[in-house]
Amino acid sequence: AQTVTQSQPEMSVQEAETVTLSCTYDTSESDYYLFWYKQPPSRQMILVIRQEAYKQQNATENRFSVNFQKAAKSFSLKISDSQLGDAAMYFCAYRSATSGSRLTFGEGTQLTVNP
Amino acid sequence: GAVVSQHPSWVICKSGTSVKIECRSLDFQATTMFWYRQFPKQSLMLMATSNEGSKATYEQGVEKDKFLINHASLTLSTLTVTSAHPEDSSFYICTASRGSSYNSPLHFGNGTRLTVT
Chain B contact for A68 (CB, 8 A cutoff) = no
Whether A99 sits inside 8 A of B43 (CB atoms) is no
- Closest residue in B to A35 (Cα) is B106
Chain B contact for A33 (CB, 8 A cutoff) = yes
| Residue A49: predicted pLDDT | 97
Helix (H, G, I), strand (E, B) or coil at A84: helix
Helix (H, G, I), strand (E, B) or coil at A52: strand
Contacts for A22 with CB less than 8 Å, ≥ 6 apart: A6, A7, A8, A74, A76, A109
Q: For every residue of chain B, which 3-state class applies, written as one string?
A: CCCEEEECCEEEECCCCCEEEEEEECCCCCCEEEEEEECCCCCEEEEEEEECCCCCEECCCCCCCCEEEEEEECCEEEEEECCCCHHHCEEEEEEEECCCCCCCCEEECCCEEEEEC
Candidate from B91, B101, B104 with C-beta closest to A43:
B91
Average pLDDT, stretch B15-36? 94
| Residue B2: predicted pLDDT | 64
Percent of chain B past pLDDT 90, that is, above it, reads: 74
Average pLDDT, stretch A58-80? 97
User: Are A51 and A59 spatial neighbours (Cβ–Cβ below 8 Å)?
Assistant: yes
Across chain B, mean pLDDT equals: 93
Reported as a pLDDT band with limits 50, 70 and 90, residue A112 is very high
Reported as a pLDDT band with limits 50, 70 and 90, residue A83 is very high
Q: Is the pLDDT confidence value at B1 over 70?
A: no
Chain B contact for A91 (CB, 8 A cutoff) = yes
Chain B contact for A51 (CB, 8 A cutoff) = no
CA proximity to B117, closest of B31, B36, B39, B12:
B12
The B-side interface with A (CB below 8 A) comprises: 32, 34, 38, 41-46, 49, 57, 91, 93, 95, 97, 100-104, 106, 108, 110-111, 113
Reported as a pLDDT band with limits 50, 70 and 90, residue B53 is confident
Q: Is the pLDDT confidence value at B48 over 70?
A: yes
Candidate from A97, A102, A105 with C-beta closest to B43:
A105
Q: Is the pLDDT confidence value at B90 over 90?
A: yes
